[in-house]
Amino acid sequence: MAAGERWGPGGGRVFVFDRRLEQCDSAERALEVAGGSGYRDFRAAVCQAFGIASDGTFVITTTSRTVVSDLNFHQIVQDGVTLYLLQSVNQTLSLATRERIDFLPHYDTLVKSGMYEYYASEGQNPLPFALAELIDNSLSATAKNTEIRNIQIRLIFDESQGKPAVVVLDNGSGMTSKQLNNWAVYRLSKFTSRGTFDSDHAGYVRPAPVVRSLNSDISYFGVGGKQAVFFVGQSVRMISKPADSQDVHELLLSKEDFEKKEKNKESIYSGFIRNREPADSAHVTSDEEKFLHNLIFEEKHKKSFTAVVITGVEQAHVQYLKNYFTHWTRQLAHIYHYYIHGPKGNEHKTVKKEEGPPNNIDIEITMYEKGKVPRIVNLREMQDDMQTLYIRTAADSFEFKALVDGDGVVEGIIRYHPFLYYTETYPEDPCFPSKQKDDDDEDDDCYIVEKEARGKRPIFECFWNGRLIPYTSVNDFEWCAPPKKRALGPIECYNRISGALFTNDKFQVSTNKLTFMDLEMKLKDKDTLYTRIVNGQEQRVKIERDFALWLKQCHESFDKQIRFVGFKGIITRTDL
């Protein structure tokens, strides 16, 4: 039993070092203390154990040299504690002692894990990124689905159904009770999981390379789900059923429960999984979770599923989710663009009803409010996420590959957004208008024409295992930046390009999946090798020149009106 933990009224075991004399026994003795005994009994027991006359001069102290007495006995002499038997309280330790300690992580490890990570979010609300962690998990879980991969976020903001709740539901592999147990283990990842007798967690096998790394293998650190749920709310109910199981497994973790366990000195990281028949909601009795009955009733016809039910949702989150619905759903559509639309992204489809394997991921968001028609959005239907805008306005694209550090491969694409009939087609970010005039510009009598289209935005968005890492972007590479000397075409063409980079997990990201660690550094290493890709084939060409040629061609073929840049004549400034 752990020190200080689970100390019941039934007594416990303490460890006593006899350090009265120089030549004393080096090891401690374990003494059993009967429940309900007091200082007198304990002192007598010590005397007996060490063969001391009961009127001998000695003190019993803590390792911090607090003398044990009638007054503090019950506070001090708890299960697992280490004590000294000394001649006097201040004598030195002739021989070292070994004091047993426990240092279980505080439950804030789980409950606060997301707080000061997600928040470090550059002024944006990080809530969409917390939801993304749960979508990541659902993508991983549905990777092997043969039927459509269905991921639903349900926002239950209908008071008649209970308190506000955020539910993430998928028809993926589900979890056995052992896997559900492992879910709750902070920092247990697919790399550290040991095989168990049910071989729930066999050794991890890296997925084979696929185009744009859309491998659905987005789990990495063993923290995402926990960080996310406790960022969103105070309590989570994980409900899951694997395909070949009769039983549904359910685990409830809550801040309140952790607090209670700490107060009662119970084991912090122990709990119960409820195993039950599908559709059995007998255990749900509180009106605050009324909606659970329906959710659980749906289990009836499901082969396998996982539902993450978050309650205790902060009011500010509820407000944000309601008021910025379009904004954050667009952000999610952006993050998962290539999962939703396939490796080519959201191209204009000529045949609209084209069916087929690439589009088998449905990510659906539904918001329920009392007295209102539920608001539903399927991320695939969103047509104004940034990647869609980039793809739709592109006239041509330039694909390439970067070979980094021996075995890291980055796929890349650059798109050309032509100038058409008086205006640039480079899409504006609807949320962060970056072309917005600088305050300076008004008075500025020098107007930097060539910066106009892209503005100050970096060229590349970066995707890791197919999903966007939102806070990392790459400005440019040497070969696609405006050349220092003379360009083949007009310089402003360099500001009509957008791009995307695709890596697998050979490149590392931070635990909150908001930033890459060193993607840019590695890409800009002088040994990094860039190759152009045409129709899937590597070209043996000089990328810098080939890119310049491509850009010139784009300009000549697609720019529909050439703008006069405004040659102002040469101004000779006299030295100051």
Ligand X SMILES: Nc1ncnc2c1ncn2[C@@H]1O[C@H](COP(=O)(O)OP(=O)(O)OP(=O)(O)O)[C@@H](O)[C@H]1O
CB closer to ligand X, 168 vs 321: 168
| 419 alpha-carbon distance from chain centroid | 39
> What DSSP assignment string belongs to 501-563?
EEE-TTS-B-TTSSSBSSHHHHHTSTT-EEEEEETTEEE-S-HHHHHHHHHHHHHHHH--SPP
Of 109, 189, 281, 508, the one binding ligand X (CB under 6 A) is 189
105 binds a copy of itself (CB under 8 A): yes
Quick check: 465 binds Mg ion (CB under 5 A)? no
Q: List beta partners, residue 16.
A: 29, 83
Residue showing tokens 């708890």: 78
Q: Is 229 helix (H, G, I), strand (E, B) or coil?
A: helix
Q: Hey, what are 368's tokens? A: 């329920």
Rule CB under 5 A: say whether 224 interacts with Mg ion. Answer: yes
Could you give the CA distance from residue 497 to residue 123 in angstroms, rounded to a whole number?
27
State the Cα–Cα distance between residues 420 and 443, nearest whole angstrom: 28
- Binding to Mg ion (CB under 5 A): which residues in 169-188? none
Residues with Cβ within 8 Å of residue 161, at least 6 apart in sequence = 290, 291, 368
Q: Which of 316, 481, 529, 534 binds a copy of itself (CB under 8 A)?
A: 481
Cα separation, 92 vs 325, in Å, equals 67
Residue 448 binding partner per list ligand X, a copy of itself, Mg ion, none, with a CB distance cut-off of 5 to 8 Å that depends on partner kind: a copy of itself
Q: Which does 251 bind (CB under 5 to 8 A by kind): Mg ion, ligand X, a copy of itself, none?
A: a copy of itself
Q: Is 180 helix (H, G, I), strand (E, B) or coil?
A: helix
Place of tokens 């003795």: 29
CB 222, CB 189: distance < 8 Å: yes
Does residue number 137 form part of the binding site for Mg ion (CB under 5 A)?
Answer: yes
Residue 253 Cβ vs a copy of itself, minimum distance, rounded to whole Å:
8
How many whole angstroms separate alpha carbon 76 and alpha carbon 4?
10
Report the 10 Å Cβ neighbour count for 516: 23
Q: Give the shortest CB-27-to-ligand X separation in angstroms.
A: 29
Site for a copy of itself in 180-219 (CB under 8 A): 181-182, 184-189, 192, 197-198, 200
Least distance between ligand X and beta carbon 568 (Å): 54
Residue 177 touching ligand X (CB under 6 A): no
196 binds ligand X (CB under 6 A): no
Residues whose CB is less than 8 angstroms from the CB of residue 186 and which lie 6 or more positions away in sequence, other chains included: 105, 109, 110, 113, 222, 223, 226
Nearer to a copy of itself, 126 or 345 (CB): 126
Residue from the set 359, 366, 378, 515 that interacts with a copy of itself by CB under 8 A: 515
For the segment 391-430, give every residue that binds a copy of itself (CB under 8 A).
422
**CB 402 within 8 Å of CB 410:** yes
For 165, the token pair is 């709740």
Minimum distance of a copy of itself from residue 275's CB (angstroms): 5
Q: Does 473 bind Mg ion (CB under 5 A)?
A: no
Among 42, 129, 157, 221, binds a copy of itself (CB under 8 A): 221
Nearest approach in angstroms of CB 89 to a copy of itself is 9
Residues 136-165 that bind ligand X (CB under 6 A): 137-138, 141
* 301 belongs to the binding site for a copy of itself (CB under 8 A): no
Report the DSSP beta bridge partners of residue 320.
none
Task: Single out the segment in contact with ligand X by CB under 6 A; choices: 130-138, 253-261, 410-418, 469-477.
Answer: 130-138
**E strand or H helix that includes residue 151:** strand 149-157
Greatest distance between any 2 Cα atoms in the chain: 108
- Interface positions, 214-233, toward ligand X (CB under 6 A): 219-226
Window of 166-174, 206-214, 514-522, 525-533 that interacts with a copy of itself by CB under 8 A: 514-522
The answer to the question of residue 222 lying near Mg ion (CB under 5 A) is no
Q: How near is the Cβ of 481 to ligand X at its closest, in Å?
A: 33
Helix (H, G, I), strand (E, B) or coil at 399: strand
Nearer to a copy of itself, 339 or 516 (CB): 516
280 binds a copy of itself (CB under 8 A): yes
Tell me the closest approach of the beta carbon of residue 87 to ligand X, in angstroms: 30
Handedness of CA 568, 572, 574, 576 (dihedral sign): positive
The one-letter amino acid at 166 = V
Categorise residue 542: left if φ over 0, alpha if ψ from -120 to 50, beta otherwise: beta
Name which of residues 499 to 528 contact Mg ion (CB under 5 A).
none
264 binds, among Mg ion, ligand X, a copy of itself, none (CB under 5 to 8 A by kind): none
Specify the amino acid at residue 189: S
Residue 294 within binding range of a copy of itself, rule CB under 8 A:
no
Of residues 275 and 323, the one with the C-beta less far from a copy of itself: 275
Of residues 105 and 374, the one with the C-beta less far from Mg ion: 105
- CA pair distance 384, 390, nearest whole angstrom: 9
x/- contact string, 267-306, with ligand X (CB under 6 A)?
Answer: ---------------------------------------x
CA separation for the pair 365, 313 (Å, rounded): 17
DSSP structure class, residue 26? S
Element (H, E) at 321: helix 315-323
State the binding partner of 306 from a copy of itself, ligand X, Mg ion, none, CB within 5 to 8 A by kind: ligand X
**Rule CB under 8 A: is residue 376 a binding residue for a copy of itself?**
no
Nearer to ligand X, 154 or 417 (CB): 154
- Report the residue closest to Mg ion, judged by CB: 224
Q: Are 69 and 39 in contact (CB under 8 A)?
A: yes
Tell which one of 125, 219, 329, 425 touches Mg ion (CB under 5 A). Answer: 219
Size of the site for ligand X (CB under 6 A): 22
The owner of tokens 């009803």 is 353
**Could you say whether residue 510 binds a copy of itself (CB under 8 A)?**
yes
Binding site for ligand X (CB under 6 A): 133, 137-138, 141, 170, 172-175, 179, 183, 189-190, 219-226, 306
